[in-house]
Structure 1
Amino acid sequence: MAKEDEKEAEGDAKGGGRKRLIIIALPVVVLVVAAAAWFLVLKPKDDSAGAAAALPAPKPGTVVPLESITVNLAASHFLKVGIALQPTADATEVDGSKALDQLITVFSNDTIDSLSEPEGKDAAKKELVARIKLAYLPEEEITEEEIVKANEDVSGGKVKETNDLSAAEAEKRAAELKVQPLVYDVYFTEFVMQ
């Protein structure tokens, strides 16, 4: 009987060793499988081949006020509006004529009612800032073909010219820029409607 107890104890010892091995090996195997799954499936992809990385925040330059202009609104009303451009610190000189042209494009034929509401004024400013940034792209860093392709991409292949983009398309295009525009921000210095 002693031999049977000895064999049983020896069997328990061998079985216990297997159990310990399983208890130790199982978490290690789970960790290895989890790491492999993360690496192959869940790890963020390096997007260097796809979209460009987000632009670094530009350093703002000195604010340059532009002369106020009068823009015709709908129903025989007009808007006297002044803006100031804040170019990036890298911009050597920013000609205000492009910004004034965009200001006329955005506000012409708008209604006094829509611009009287804070939401309408904010929406117009958001569109104006986007259009001004698109107007002040550095010519040495982006080609006309790249501009046309980006406009077609954002408009579903319908628009080649930047001025023909809708407000939403212009804002989306400005948000997706892969080159830094020469203008950092735009400020209203005067906004009088009559």
Structure 2
Amino acid sequence: MNMDNIYLISDIPGYSPQISRLISMMNYARYTTIEEVNNLSIDQLDFLLDSESNSIGALLLHFAGVEYAYQVATFENRQLNKEELLEWGPALQLGKEGQEKIKGNDITFYFTKMDQVRRRTLQFFQSVDDDWLCKEEEFWYNKPANYYFMWFHVIEDEINHRGQIRMIRKRTLDA
């Protein structure tokens, strides 16, 4: 990620114009996420506000899981298989399963997972052009959506859950 241009939504060499802008927004969302959690300890990453909440670590893995799931759906035109669900299911579902299975990892673990998935996304984005973003499929509630919306949702999901991370920090870790 080029930090000199983090506030520019513009063309990126090797990508079509609209995909470049989508990547620019994804990069900014990820940059602000990393800044929010960069120095957290394992205990802080595993902290639960209550029995119904998600940990910061689980939310970070959720970001990678959602992005991976959308890679599979939009680039490979398939659902996650059993092996992928074993790896990503707890991060995608969160809740009790996430609480039980996503813990004990340091920040490097989460950053590595997020980076591996993002590198794969960037490789996929190099293989398509702006017309690909307009491809439509049935989506939530049997309504049409295009790939542009689906990838916007990847960004939206990270930003939404980053708000949860900030709330957890404000109410507990930074108090």
TM-score (ref. length: structure 2): 0.29
Q: Which has the higher strand share?
A: 1
Q: Which has the higher helix share?
A: 2
TM-score (ref. length: structure 1): 0.27
